[in-house]
Amino acid sequence: MSTAASVKIRTAGSAGFHLNRRGRFLFVGLPVLVLAALAAAAAVFFGTHAVAPAAAAPQRPATAPVESVTVDYGDTLWSLAGRVAPEAPRNETILRIGELNDLTGSELQPGQVLFVPRAS
């Protein structure tokens, strides 16, 4: 075999430049991660500031007059609703009492002061 036949001819596409795993991450993965982080930050920033204040706060209808009631031992929301608005449906009155007082459950404590809709 001649020496001329064993010499490989290099073309422009095979310059001998190969990236290993760390190099591929540096040139491809790192910019993708940075762009994803910037996109997430922009979405959070513009998402929170794009909401109009009127859309963020729910519109409440004109409020009906309310009065305060002190909870006695053994009182429940059902009994309070029947006492303060006997002509209205109790479930609607209970929901209204919950809205007025920001109640998360049905637990009441004796001596607790609640706002209730005034009977009309």
Kindly state the tokens that stand for 29.
Answer: 């993965």
Whether pLDDT at 13 is above 60: no
Helix (H) or strand (E) holding 42: helix 30-49
Residues 6 or more apart in contact with residue 84 via CB below 8 angstroms: 67, 69, 93, 116, 117, 118, 119
pLDDT in tens, 33-87: 888 889 888 888 777 655 555 555 555 555 668 889 999 999 999 999 999 988 9
Question: Helices 77-84 & 90-101, crossing angle to 10 degrees?
Answer: 110
* HSE toward the beta carbon, residue 88, CA cutoff 13 A: 21
Write the CATH number of the domain with boundaries 66-117.
3.10.350.10
